[in-house]
Structure 1
Amino acid sequence: RLSEKSMGEREEREKVNLVGSTSMRGVALSYVALAFSLESLLQRACIVDAFRLS
């Protein structure tokens, strides 16, 4: 009986860890996407400036 309870607690803990790691991964992915979009915007602005200067 006691072992069943501890097994259930372990499964719950693993579920929490899984949710935590996936949310962290989602945050990291959104940061990467934001960095890429900012970089492309900067590149576009540089291209526009180059056209304007020439």
Structure 2
Amino acid sequence: MGSTFIREYKYSILMIIVGIILILIGIDRSGNYLVLSKAVAISLHYIGIG
């Protein structure tokens, strides 16, 4: 059970990193895209935890 928790924890960290990359890509584009990137990052973050 503990190993499963660690695996899910690492997966959620990976999702957060992907979200950060999306946000950095959004900064290079328009403000609207940046907001969209934040929304995607948040959704990926919750998927990683869930």
TM-score range, shorter chain: 0.5 to 0.7
Larger radius of gyration: 1
* Unaligned ranges ≥5, structure 1: 1-6, 38-54
Root mean square deviation, CA, Å: 1.4
Please state if 1:22 is matched with 2:20: no
Matches within 5 A, 1:4-23: 7-23=1-17
Identical aligned residues as a percent: 13
Structure 2: tracts of 5 or more residues without a match: 32-50
> CA offsets, 1:2-50, max 9 Å, x none?
xxxxx0110000110010000000000110111127xxxxxxxxxxxxx
TM-score by length of 1: 0.52
- Runs of 4+ in structure 1 off by over 4 angstroms are none
TM-score by length of 2: 0.56
Structure number with the bigger relative contact order (C-alpha 8 A, sep ≥ 6) is: 2
Q: How many residues align?
A: 31
Query: Normalized per residue, which structure has more helix?
Result: 1
